[in-house]
Amino acid sequence: MRVLLVEDDTALGAAIRDQIAADGHSVDWVVRLDRAADALSSAAYDLLLLDLMLPDGLGVPFLKALRGRGDVTPVMILTALDQVSDRIAGLNAGADDYMVKPFDLAELSARIGSVARRYTGNPNPIVTLGLLTIDLAARSVALGGKSVILTAREWVLFEAFLQRPGQLFSKAQLEERLYSFDTEIDSNAIEVHVSRLRKKLGAHVIETERGLGYRLARA
**126-216: CATH class:** mainly alpha
What pLDDT score does 70 carry?
83
Give me the DSSP letters along 45-97. -SEEEE-SEETTEEHHHHHHHHHHTT----EEEEES--SHHHHHHHHHTT-SE
In tens, the pLDDT along 4-18 reads 999 999 999 999 999
**Topology agreement, domain 2-119 and domain 126-216:** no
Closest residue by Cα to residue 4 from 22, 123, 35, 101: 35
The Cα 25–Cα 5 span in angstroms is 12
What pLDDT score does 165 carry?
79
The Cα 128–Cα 133 span in angstroms is 5
- How large is the average pLDDT for residues 68-93? 92
What CATH number belongs to 2-119?
Answer: 3.40.50.2300
In order of 13, 21, 77, 201, 215, the CA distances from 31 in angstroms are 9, 18, 14, 40, 35
Position 122 pLDDT exceeds 60: no
- Are the CB atoms for 137 and 110 separated by under 8 Å? yes
**pTM check: above 0.75:** no
- Are the CB atoms for 135 and 159 separated by under 8 Å? no
For the chain, the domains span 2-119, 126-216
- Are the CB atoms for 201 and 141 separated by under 8 Å? yes
Task: Give the pLDDT band of residue 183 (cuts 50, 70, 90).
Answer: low
